[in-house]
Amino acid sequence: MLQEWRAHGATTYAGYILGFPSDTRESILRDIEIIKKELPLDLLEFFYLTPLPGSEDHLNLYRKNIWMDEDLNKYDLNHRVAHHDKMSDEEWENVYLEAWMTYYSPEHIETVLRRAATHPKGRPSNKLFLMLFFYLMVKLEGVHPLEGGFFRLKYRKDRRSSLPLENPFAFYSKYFTEIISKSLSYLKEGSRYYWLYYKLLKAPDRKSYTDTALQKSSDEEEEGLRLYKDTAGGEAAVEKKKKAQALRDRVAAKKVGAQYN
């Protein structure tokens, strides 16, 4: 399916939830590496598994008197609001950030650009812009990309009534220092990746690049991928597919038997 979207010039985009009961730091980072290698995805965003108020998960935890954060402002999928059975709070929070930095590593950004550059509808410049935006929102702004923007607005009087207003000199000094610092960081990171982009465009072998994610494969070959063998979701998908095929075979056999009878 992803390869079909790619063939039509679409930017492929998926979400990944961290914190299912069987998740560990090691399994999360392993699965991200598999995704990077075997799926032709451009953008990947990460979320905490969150018991949203009003959901069955939230109700079950409430009935069992299991701790959940009382601050409803944090129930945005981007903050940890519960505990995990296998990971400590610190480990879960750390691997959330690791996930972003792992997927949007310089090496993988280059891989996505190479994949895009092989296709006439690939739009590598668009891929670079979006990947950099996702990466820099997390790294420099500390927010989820869907909540980010190009310029952070801050107002001195935007304070909770219980907190004192900051001194104007202190507030604006820190604000303008932050603007200059972040602007330089954006310029540094952007220059590095756009230089890589221009080198890829001029590479004589740009059209011949290929990897596992771009190669068409049969059903049997697909089931041999680590995506299906080494991940819980992949194993479940293969098992479901086999059961569905077995059911179809039994129905077909009954139809044939009925015709002969």
DSSP β-bridge partners for residue 31: none
Per-residue pLDDT at 243: 83
Mean pLDDT across the chain, nearest whole number?
90
Same domain, 11 and 117: yes
Per-residue pLDDT at 150: 82
Per-residue pLDDT at 204: 87
Per-residue pLDDT at 106: 93
Distance, in Å, from the CA atom of 240 to the CA atom of 242, rounded to the nearest integer, reads 5
Give the residues of the chain that fall short of pLDDT 70.
218-223, 260-261
Same domain, 143 and 186: yes
Structural domain total, the chain: 2
Same domain, 193 and 252: no
Per-residue pLDDT at 96: 98
Q: Give per-residue pLDDT as tens, 190-236.
A: 999 999 899 888 888 888 999 999 988 766 666 677 777 777 777 77
Q: Would residue 158 count as lying in a domain?
A: no
pTM comes to 0.85
Distance, in Å, from the CA atom of 208 to the CA atom of 27, rounded to the nearest integer, reads 33
Distance, in Å, from the CA atom of 112 to the CA atom of 128, rounded to the nearest integer, reads 8
Per-residue pLDDT at 219: 65
Q: Would residue 81 count as lying in a domain?
A: yes
Same domain, 209 and 233: no
Domain around 45: 2-152+164-216
Same domain, 205 and 249: no
- Helix and strand tally (H, E) in the chain? 10, 2
DSSP assignment of the chain, as one string?
-HHHHHHTTPPPEEEEEE--TT--HHHHHHHHHHHHHHS--SEEEEEE----TTSHHHHHHHHTT--B-S-GGGTTTTS--B--SSS-HHHHHHHHHHHHHHHT-HHHHHHHHHHHHTSTT--HHHHHHHHHHHHHIIIII-S-GGG--SS----TT---TTSPPPPHHHHHHHHHHHHHHHHHHHHHHHHHHHHHHHHHHH-TTGGG---GGGS---HHHHHTSHHHHSSHHHHHHHHHHHHHHHHHHHHHHHHHHHHH-
Question: Residue 24 gets which letter from DSSP?
Answer: -
Q: Would residue 69 count as lying in a domain?
A: yes
Same domain, 57 and 45: yes
Same domain, 203 and 253: no
Q: Would residue 46 count as lying in a domain?
A: yes
Same domain, 128 and 9: yes
Same domain, 207 and 225: no
Same domain, 22 and 34: yes
State the virtual CA torsion across 246, 250, 256, 259 in degrees, nearest 10.
Answer: -150
Q: Would residue 159 count as lying in a domain?
A: no
DSSP 3-state assignment of 168? helix
